[in-house]
Amino acid sequence: MMRPLYSLPSTILAAAFLASCGGSALSPATRSGIPNAAAARSIPAGASANGYKLLYSFKGTPDGASPYGGLVAVNGTLYGTTLNGSSNYCAQSCSNYCYLGCGTVFSVTGSGVENVIYNFQGNFNSAHDGSWPFAGLTPLNETLYGTASSAGAYGHGAVYTVSTSGQESVLYSFQGGSDGSAPEAPAIALKSRLYGTTVVGGGSGCGGSGCGIVYSLTTTGNESVLYRFTGGTDGERIYAPVTPLHDRLYGAALEGGTGCGSTGCGIIFEVNLHGKERVLHRFSGTSDGAFPNGLTAVNGVLYGTTEGGGTRSSGTFFSITTSGTLTTLYSFQDIPDGNLPGATLIYHKGTLYGTTVGGGTAGHGTVFSITPSCTVKVLYSFQAGSDGADPQGPVYLLNKTLYGTTASGGGTACGGSGCGTVFRVKP
Cβ contacts of residue 260 below 8 Å, gap of 6+?
A: 6, 8, 9, 12, 266, 283, 285, 290, 291, 308
The residue that leads in pLDDT, 223 or 25, is: 223
pLDDT of residue 25: 31
Convert the pLDDT of each residue in 303-340 to its tens digit.
Answer: 999 999 999 999 999 999 999 999 999 999 999 999 99
Query: Bridge partners of 422?
Result: 56, 405
End-to-end CA distance of the chain: 33
Q: Cβ of 402: how many Cβ atoms within 10 Å?
A: 26
pLDDT, mean of residues 288-297:
97
pLDDT digit string, tens, across residues 100-116: 688 999 999 999 999 99
Backbone angle region of 385, left / alpha / beta, with phi > 0 → left and psi within -120 to 50 → alpha: beta
CB 221, CB 174: distance < 8 Å:
no
Question: Which position has the higher pLDDT, 236 or 97?
Answer: 236
pLDDT at 10: 30
pLDDT for 69-86, tens place per residue? Answer: 999 999 999 999 999 887
Instruction: Kindly write down the DSSP assignment for every residue of 297-318, as one continuous string.
Output: EETTEEEEEEEE-STTSS-EEE
Under 8 Å between Cβ of 354 and 305 = yes
Query: What is the CB neighbour count within 10 angstroms for residue 63?
Result: 20
**Beta bridge partners of residue 198, listed in sequence order:** 213
Among the residues of 204-299, which ranges form H helices? none
pLDDT at 49 over 80: no
Amino acid at 123: N
Q: Given a cut of 60, is residue 17 above it in pLDDT?
A: no
Q: Which residues contact 124 (CB under 8 A, 6 or more apart)?
A: 88, 89, 90, 91, 102
Which domains does the chain possess?
A: 11-425 (2.120.10.30)
